[in-house]
Amino acid sequence: MLVLVAPGQGAQTPGFLTPWLDLPGVEDRLRAWSDAIGLDLVHYGTHADADEIRDTAIAQPLLVAAGLVSTAALGAVTPGAVAGHSVGEITAAAVAGVLTDDEALALVRTRGLAMAEAAAITETGMSALLGGDPDVSLAHLEKLGLTPANINGAGQIVAAGTLEQLAALAEDKPEGVRKVVALKVAGAFHTQHMSPAVDALAEAAKKLSPAEPKITYVSNKDGRTVTAGGEIVDRLVGQVANPVRWDLCMETFQELGVTALLEVCPGGTLTGLAKRALPGVKTLALKTPDDLDAARELIAEHS
């Protein structure tokens, strides 16, 4: 059984969309979406530097657009399940048929702008803890006033909070943690700091007409499969201020009988986690069009 997954913020790198523009129709799609949401996706995906695409309001639409373009390039594919990490959940909702591509881009544009506004209220950020015992790390984060914003499994927890709190974490790692790595994000996402963004996203969600998912959809909230399109949208709204439980998503993949995991562009992060947490499961990260043939072979073997 194949699971298709979409990465979240921090996966973007300068120029990562450049090779995709060589595929027929891709540039036209990106320009049409750019006009619709008032953001030049082609420029930001090809010529912008790392600091420019670190901006939440830019990174989020860019990632969803990349996920949709790369999924479409695979051709007809019906995975056994679909999921996304953080903003990747919007990509997953579109792949599952809950949202149209245009609705997904409109929603993520609102999400990115609202979360950027919320992040500007207080200087905040996120850092990944690599290794260590989860219970020990969680207790240590609580002591420092930090939130475990992403519990990713495979020995990785992402802490979020003020820059002062994150500096204290860097100086005082939990016992057993090998390394603390500052992430390329511009705020404490999936924490109370993002609460102001929830209302803006809820208002935008009223304009949507969600359909029932055509593919099993696994939610970041609790790793559960969700069968109602309206509930999926409700979860997308609330999730911006609540922790991502990717560890529980991967547990659900196992329960569903996953044998292969394919991560859409810009792939890498989630396949890395799967290699450690899902032994025996074949993984492939879709980075450039050069990976499409291998991806199609994986799909043919495991769909």
Cross-sheet strand order for the sheet of 282-285: 225-226, 216-218, 81-84, 2-6, 260-263, 282-285
Q: Which candidate in 34, 70, 85, 86 is catalytic? A: 86
| Lookup: tokens for 259 | 């044998």
User: How many Å apart are CA 253 and CA 261, to the nearest integer?
Assistant: 9
Is 140 annotated as catalytic?
no
* Residue 86 backbone dihedrals phi, psi, to 5 degrees: 60, -120
- Which residues does 226 contact at the CB level (< 8 Å), separation at least 6? 213, 217, 218, 219, 232, 235
Question: If you compute the radius of gyration of the chain from its CA atoms, what whole number of angstroms results?
Answer: 18
Is 34 annotated as catalytic?
no
Q: Where do the DSSP E strands lie in 99-221?
A: 124-131, 147-153, 156-162, 177-182, 216-218
Q: Which candidate in 140, 190, 193, 302 is catalytic? A: 190
Instruction: Specify burial of residue 175 (Cβ count, 10 A radius: 0-12, 13-18, 19+).
Output: exposed
Q: Output the CA angle 205-206-211, nearest 5 degrees.
A: 75
Catalytic residues: 86, 190
